[in-house]
Amino acid sequence: MRIILADDDPMMRGLLEAVLRHEGNEVEPYENGADAWKAFAANPAPMIVLDWQMPQVDGLELCRRVRGHAEGERTYLLMITARAHPEDLEKLLDAGADDYISKPVSPADVLARLRIAVKRMAVAESRRGAEAALRKARYLAGVGELSLALQHEINNPLAALMTTLALITNGMLEEHEIPDSLKTIEQQAQRIAEVLRRLRDIKEEKSVEYAHGQRMVDLRGDQSR
């Protein structure tokens, strides 16, 4: 896993880098939050291990920037901090950090938090996959319901319009019948236009029972409510 590491203390940065690499990770170490942010913005990483107190951009600000990035919600943020006051920890979590390690830090502490992070990331990825599948299923169901509703509302006027037009173009009507037929075409076209208007004005999708357990979008109800 690619991990961005941000800590201005050379000894702490070296310790963290050694432990993270020992677990087979690709580590990019930076001595301040500004450089770490540039690296993330250019190429988002699945995990950032960062110190709270850093020059230029501190840990809290780096967390906020990451969370504001388009890919930031997928990144696991592990903060290193000497602060242990509940208010400080609340600030840390409010900024978007997922977890923290309290100083002084030992290799065992880092390993434990790293393994917890990996498990949480796997769970989060599974959840995102399930949510994406659900969104797709809902979308496809919505497409089906809308398609059924349009067929139900448009098929009859469209059939009447096309049939009447065919009678005219094929010379199958008497001349005196043509004005009424043109009126029929106009009326059916208006019916179709009204269906499209109701579709445009839908504020909240509602579905109704159609037949054989099928449902369709309700294009007849008052959608303005």
Q: Packing angle between helix 59-68 and helix 86-94, nearest 10 degrees?
A: 30
Helix, strand, coil shares of the chain, percent, nearest 5, are 60, 15, 25
Per-domain residue ranges of the chain: 2-105, 133-217
29-59 tens-digit pLDDT: 999 999 999 999 999 999 999 999 998 899 9
Amino acid at 215: R
Sheet holding 99-102, edge to edge: 26-30, 2-6, 47-51, 76-81, 99-102
Instruction: Tell me the average pLDDT across 85-114.
Output: 88
pLDDT band, residue 170 (cuts 50/70/90): confident
Q: CATH topology for 2-105?
A: Rossmann fold (3.40.50)
CA-CA-CA-CA torsion sign (5, 8, 11, 12): negative
Q: Is the pLDDT of residue 66 over 70?
A: yes
> Cα–Cα distance between 89 and 102 in angstroms, integer?
10
User: Cβ of 91: how many Cβ atoms within 10 Å?
Assistant: 15
126-157 tens-digit pLDDT: 777 776 776 666 555 566 667 777 777 778 88
Instruction: Give the pair of three-digit tokens for residue 164.
Output: 């009447």
The rounded mean pLDDT for the chain is 83
> Cα–Cα distance between 183 and 37 in angstroms, integer?
67
